[in-house]
Amino acid sequence: MHSTKAPRAVAYCHCNDCRRVTGAPVAAFAAFDETALSFVPNEGRSVSVNSGVTRSFCECCGTPLTGRYEYLPGMVYVSLGIVDQADELAPQLHAHESNRLSWLHIDDECKRITRSARDELNAATGEVD
Ligand SMILES: [Zn+2]
């Protein structure tokens, strides 16, 4: 995966869906502009389990690759763990903080919100729901 632009946002997500998809106690993702992204050799296989959400994964190794959400058109969420530049992309936000596992403590100065990062992202892009 390669992006010609920096991500619009980098965030942790503590929601149940992200936990299940990543298999990790918390997900961390970067949200990229669809038009700036390219995938080599391709974006893998797409599945849609929840309405309005399309996820892709690598057919060879099963790695989750991307998430696309109808309410965030033109944006592609990529798990930080598969981004080569992850070390330079520190999260700015904890989304769904109220769903955080009680034993998980990440000591940082990031903003913590109880809802999804959607509002923050839409505010950043100037789009209205
Ligand atoms: Zn989530």
pLDDT tens column, 67-84: 999 988 999 999 999 888
* CA 50 to ligand 1 center in whole angstroms: 12
Counting the structural domains of the chain, the total is 1
Tell me which residue range forms the domain holding 106: 2-125
CA distance 97 to 95: 5
* CA 19 to ligand 1 center in whole angstroms: 7
* CA 115 to ligand 1 center in whole angstroms: 9
* CA 71 to ligand 1 center in whole angstroms: 14
Q: Are 48 and 55 in contact (CB under 8 A)?
A: yes
* CA 18 to ligand 1 center in whole angstroms: 4
Residue pLDDT, tens place only, 17-44: 899 989 999 999 999 999 999 888 888 9
CATH of the domain at 53: 3.90.1590.10
For the whole model, what pTM was predicted? 0.84
